[in-house]
Chain A
Amino acid sequence: MEAAVIDAGSKLLKAGTAVPDQAPPIIIPTQMKRMLEDGSSTDGSLFEDVNVDPVVRGFIRDWDAMEDLLHYVLYTGLEWEEGNEGQILFTDPLCTPKSVREQLVQLMFETFNVTGFYASEQAVLSLYAVGRISGCTVDIGHGKIDIASVIEGAVQHIASRRFEIGGIDLTKLLAQELGKSNPLVNLNVSDVEIIKEKYSSCAEDELAYEKTQQSSEYEEHTLPDGQVIKVGRERYTVGEALFQPAILGLEAHGIVEQLVRSISTVSSENHRQLLENTVLCGSITSMPGFEDRFQKEASLCSSAIRPSLVKPPEYMPAELTQYSAWVGGAILAKVVFPQNQHVTKGDYDEAGPSVVHRKCF
């Protein structure tokens, strides 16, 4: 039986059996709605109140909700049978606390009775998806941004950084900006998300951004409830915030500069290998103009070696950035499970949850 691969993000959960060069069969929102009658939850649609986010900023926080979500994904989505559970691979963000990993492995073996478990960091997996074992990843997710350096499949933690900002903060920024220029329109979070995904793009460089801020051209967008909203220069603000975090009110450097600085802590013989194999992950990186802007900022940055982006292999699906960690997980699952490098039920029974730190890295 094929292993299952699950990438639980703050916004979307990607799941499927380990078939590497395809998109994950199940991509569902992680957010759940609490139903008060029987206490269980369903996945999917976003309502006004009682929304439960099992995954916050990349880490699993609400274990009961996560258990229900996984139950749905595994038994209904992937059609596992009770009593015949298989092997499972999870992806973790950078700096996952040990306790979160241990709790996950405990949940998997004790509640779901899986036969094998493996967990790997998303940065390593995204690199596997593009056919590399060394390089850096800039993973811009919904709840966090991870900038990681990986050498030969091992994350260099001192040269990696995690930022507690992500798509969700950019959505809030966009909502604020749209509120200022469209004061009479009533916006809610899901509408703004749609507008963000549809309209946002990245200016070519800082000067071009300044020009857009002064222009008054706009497009009209009709919200589901019939209201019409004007989206003009705000669309560039979202992309710009990644390169100029001051827009979000943060005193930090833009992502390219952060990348170069993180790498400077690694021994210099590896710098070239890391910077020349940079991978962008996350749907926001497929925003029009983002890659070009990244390349441009890269040529301006303060390092002798310029970051350059890796081109995904041709046999990979086009939307790879949205689920590169899942695809990498599928590739890894095909290697780890047959070679028995994973945590088996026997290992877990003998050593307890802490065995995950010994076998999975």
Chain B
Amino acid sequence: MSWQTYVDEHLMCDIDGQGQHLSAAAIVGHDGSVWAQSSSFPQFKPQEITDIMKDFEEPGHLAPTGLHLGGTKYMVIQGEAGAVIRGKKGSGGITIKKTGQALVFGIYEEPVTPGQCNMVVERLGDYLVDQGL
């Protein structure tokens, strides 16, 4: 299966059969190289990926300044140290799951809930971790 299929069919999928889905998703390597992304995924800067990786190493690194991606600022909320970073922006937000070699991104807007975004992103992330990726 190609990485693009992972993004199109597993991240940008229909959530809970209600016709809703994430607004953007991507799978990006730890070095910032894009493995696959959805059409509306924002253009990000390498520095933003470096900051995200640093937050996985030292949780709390991004909290004072906020999480930035493609120029959008997200407020960091409770994640899981070294595994998941969650950010909130108004009624939408972002979930980033770290796997062995990649970062799985999911960006959602209303009416998708943070819990639903987490389930989608983390489920795929856990699968990749099991596959050794």
Contacts and interface: CB of A to CB of B under 8 A. Distances in A.
Interface of A: 98, 151-152, 154-158, 265-267, 339-341, 347, 351, 355, 357-361
Contact of B88 (A152, A341, A358, A360): A152
Given A158-B64, A266-B64, A267-B64, A361 B113 contact: no
B32 interface: no
18 contacts: A151-B75, A152-B88, A154-B75, A154-B78, A154-B88, A155-B78, A157-B60, A158-B63, A266-B64, A267-B64, A339-B113, A341-B113, A351-B119, A358-B115, A359-B115, A359-B119, A361-B77, A361-B114
B75 A152 contact: yes
A359 B118 contact: yes
Contacts of B98: none
A17 to B, nearest CB: 23
Interface in B37-84: 60, 63-66, 75, 77-78, 80
Contacts of B122: 358
Given A355-B119, A357-B80, A361-B114, 9 more contacts: A154-B75, A155-B78, A156-B63, A158-B60, A158-B63, A267-B64, A267-B66, A340-B16, A347-B119
Nearest to B89: A152
A358 B118 contact: yes
Nearest to A121: B78
A151 B89 CA distance: 11
A255 B41 CA distance: 45
B86 interface: yes
Nearest to B88: A154
Given A151-B75, A152-B88, A361-B78, A267 B115 contact: no
B49 to A, nearest CB: 22
Contacts of A355: 119
A-B pairs with lowest CB-CB distance, top 7: A359-B115, A154-B77, A358-B118, A361-B78, A158-B63, A341-B113, A158-B60
Contacts of A341: 113, 115
A158 B123 CA distance: 27
A341 B18 CA distance: 14
B78 A157 contact: yes
Contacts of B86: 361
Interface residues of B, number: 19
Interface string B86-119: 1010000000000000000000000001110011
Interface of B: 16, 60, 63-66, 75, 77-78, 80, 86, 88, 113-115, 118-119, 122-123
Contacts of B123: 351
A357 B27 CA distance: 22
B67 to A, nearest CB: 12
B118 to A, nearest CB: 4
Contacts of B66: 267
Most central of A151, A266, A361 by chain B CB within 10 Å: A361
B115 to A, nearest CB: 4
A345 to B, nearest CB: 15
A355 B16 CA distance: 16
A340 B80 CA distance: 23
A339 B64 CA distance: 32
A258 to B, nearest CB: 19
A22 B14 CA distance: 40
B119 A267 contact: no
Contacts of B113: 339, 341
A154 B123 CA distance: 23
A358 B119 contact: yes
A332 B66 CA distance: 26
Nearest to B18: A340
Contacts of B114: 361
Contacts of A347: 119
Among B60, B66, B75, B115, chain A packs the most CB atoms within 10 A around the CB of B115
Contacts of B78: 154-155, 157, 361
B64 A265 contact: yes
Contacts of A267: 64-66
Contacts of A266: 64
A350 to B, nearest CB: 9
Contacts of A155: 77-78
Contacts of B75: 151-152, 154
